Amino acid sequence: MTRYPIVIIGCGFGGIAAAIALKNAGRHDFVILERATDVGGVWRDNAYPGAACDVVSRIYSFSYDQNYEWSTTFAPQPEILAYIKHVVARHDLLPHVRFNTEVAGARFDERRALWEIETASGERIETPILISAVGLFNRVKIPDFPGRADFRGAQFHSARWDRDFSPEGKAVAVIGNGASAVQFVPKLAAEAKRLYLFQRTPQYVLPKSIFPGNGAWDVRLQRRRRLRGLARLKIYLAFEKFVWRRKWRPGARLKGEAGFRRMLEAKIADPELRRKLTPDFPIGCKRQLVSNEWYDALVRPNVTVIDTPIEAVTAAGLRTRDGKLYPVDAIIYGTGFTPTDYLQPMRIAGLGGKNLNEAWREGAEAFLGITVAGFPNFFMLYGPNTNAITSIIYMLECQSRYIVDCIRALEARGAAFMNVRADAQARFVAELQRRLSTTVQAMSSCVTYFKQANGRITTNWPGYAFEYRWRTRRVRPRDYEFADLPPAPAE
């Protein structure tokens, strides 16, 4: 049995943020358990053609690692992965990482105040402090179409891209039109002989110019090292303005929808194709997609958009519900992830053997998105309801500082473990759901991965990013119960 004072699960942006916060606090007694052979998380795994950040890189980066020469406003995947490795090297984190170590589950031993971790290989690891940084986008979602196993060609998910695959001269089916598809479809369309895009729901796809940080003034700021902090602040405030407009100016949503329709009319001359590409839900319901190439790709003569539901996969291709058969050489699933299935497939058991998946049967919830009642000394980054209208890196920095403060509070009291109070968590979650119930995502016409099948929104933060920073600025002891080890049984 191996024992570490602090264990972090995952070495993507979240795990790196936690590790740096610990080091800044003078703590070097931690280990990062990483299931893969390299750092990077989703930016290691998502290496499809055209993969890039859809948030401006200057804010999609750590506040304390801004002296990085981004080649473009929206950095491509290889550059983001290189940045992650740069940060890992600069903060000397590699000695703390154990690669090829996938966590299968963890159980809290209340008698010893220790988390007992089991890896996929069967190894046992103990730690008093367990930090999960597995993120939202680590489990791919592939529809279980009848006949999928019978298909004779290549088929893979975009997050598990077959690097040996070449679309040249081939007929390719792409299923899905989300954030990944809007990046790789234009690349495939330029090479494939034929591309069939199967969409379930049209999307609002807007040009990158709508995002803050694109202007000539922004570029000038970012070129000067001493002004990069100002460039980042300018972008941050613009995101906060988005929240203000959505909250206090609901008419801005209607204005945005009208602007989108005008853009679509200018881009798409064919009225039938334009109908297929016009959403019937309010803007803001789903994740906002950005691309300067998407609609240009869809009007290419070798591209066909199909909105008839898929009935089955055959050996030769796809059959839709109207009986049409589309013979293809390859099927690529741009069908996203399962972000509301937090922490799965890991099995986490807390006090009294309480199962976290069972506790979250009606939807994941956590106090500040970080701690869960009944699961002492267990902390999360990118936990429930922490997805905000800003860079997730900002939120991760807030969470990592809060977790370090929790560890300090625990040790200052000489307690064995701390457990967020159930009433504190219940009040916080009730407030969140009340505020979220007034948002666009809560509308019955909005079907989105932001929420559970029961309509409960478990991913998004309802307010300003600064509000989250304020609420995580310090640990309030009254929100937690601190416990000592029970006395040892008499011999």
For residue range 395-412, list pLDDT tens digits in order.
999 999 999 999 999 999
* pLDDT at site 393: 95
Nearest Cα to Cα of residue 406 among 391, 394, 418, 389: 418
When pLDDT is cut at 50, 70 and 90, the band that residue 121 belongs to is very high
For the cut 70, the answer to whether the pLDDT of residue 333 exceeds it is yes
Cα–Cα distance between 139 and 55 in angstroms, integer?
Answer: 22
When pLDDT is cut at 50, 70 and 90, the band that residue 229 belongs to is confident
Task: Tell me if residue 352 falls in helix, strand or coil.
Answer: helix
* pLDDT at site 19: 98
* pLDDT at site 221: 66
Question: Which of 163-172, 213-222, 418-427 has the least mean pLDDT?
Answer: 213-222
pTM here is 0.93
Question: Which of 74-78, 256-260, 321-325, 442-446 has the least mean pLDDT?
Answer: 442-446
For the cut 60, the answer to whether the pLDDT of residue 340 exceeds it is no
For the cut 70, the answer to whether the pLDDT of residue 183 exceeds it is yes
* pLDDT at site 20: 98
For the cut 80, the answer to whether the pLDDT of residue 290 exceeds it is yes
Assess contact for 108 and 114: CB atoms under 8 A: yes
* pLDDT at site 450: 78
Average model confidence (pLDDT) across the chain: 91
| Ranges for all domains in the chain classified under CATH 3.50.50.60 | 2-39+93-139+339-483, 148-203+250-333
Assess contact for 35 and 119: CB atoms under 8 A: no
For the cut 80, the answer to whether the pLDDT of residue 115 exceeds it is yes
Cα torsion through 32, 422, 425, 117, rounded to 10: 10
Instruction: Report the percentage of the chain scoring pLDDT > 70.
Output: 93
Question: E-assigned strands of 94-231?
Answer: 97-98, 103-109, 114-119, 124-127, 129-132, 154-157, 171-175, 194-198, 205-206
Instruction: Report the percentage of the chain scoring pLDDT > 90.
Output: 70
Average pLDDT in the 439-452 region?
A: 80
Question: Which of 44-48, 118-122, 360-364 has the least mean pLDDT?
Answer: 360-364
Task: Kindly state the helix (H) or strand (E) to which residue 271 belongs, with its residue range.
Answer: helix 271-276
For the cut 80, the answer to whether the pLDDT of residue 214 exceeds it is no
Average pLDDT in the 139-148 region?
A: 89
Task: Kindly state the helix (H) or strand (E) to which residue 242 belongs, with its residue range.
Answer: helix 228-248
For the cut 70, the answer to whether the pLDDT of residue 223 exceeds it is no
Helices (H) and strands (E) in the chain, counts: 13, 22
For the cut 60, the answer to whether the pLDDT of residue 361 exceeds it is yes
Burial of 373 (0-12, 13-18, 19+ CB in 10 A): buried
* Cα atoms in the 13 Å half-sphere on the side-chain side of 210: 15
For the cut 80, the answer to whether the pLDDT of residue 213 exceeds it is no
Place of tokens 């009294």: 352
For the cut 90, the answer to whether the pLDDT of residue 349 exceeds it is yes
Domain at 2-39+93-139+339-483: CATH code = 3.50.50.60
Task: Tell me if residue 259 falls in helix, strand or coil.
Answer: helix
* pLDDT at site 378: 98
* pLDDT at site 176: 94
Is the pLDDT higher at 111 or at 233? 111
For the cut 80, the answer to whether the pLDDT of residue 64 exceeds it is yes
When pLDDT is cut at 50, 70 and 90, the band that residue 294 belongs to is very high
* pLDDT at site 1: 80
For the cut 60, the answer to whether the pLDDT of residue 490 exceeds it is no
Nearest Cα to Cα of residue 476 among 412, 413, 411, 406: 406
* pLDDT at site 249: 66
pLDDT digits (tens, 9 = 90+) for 91-103: 999 999 999 999 9
Place of tokens 């939202």: 136
Tokens found for residue 235: 């972008």
Cα–Cα distance between 380 and 368 in angstroms, integer?
Answer: 10
CB atoms within 10 A of CB 2: 13
When pLDDT is cut at 50, 70 and 90, the band that residue 253 belongs to is confident
Domain at 148-203+250-333: CATH code = 3.50.50.60
For the cut 70, the answer to whether the pLDDT of residue 246 exceeds it is no
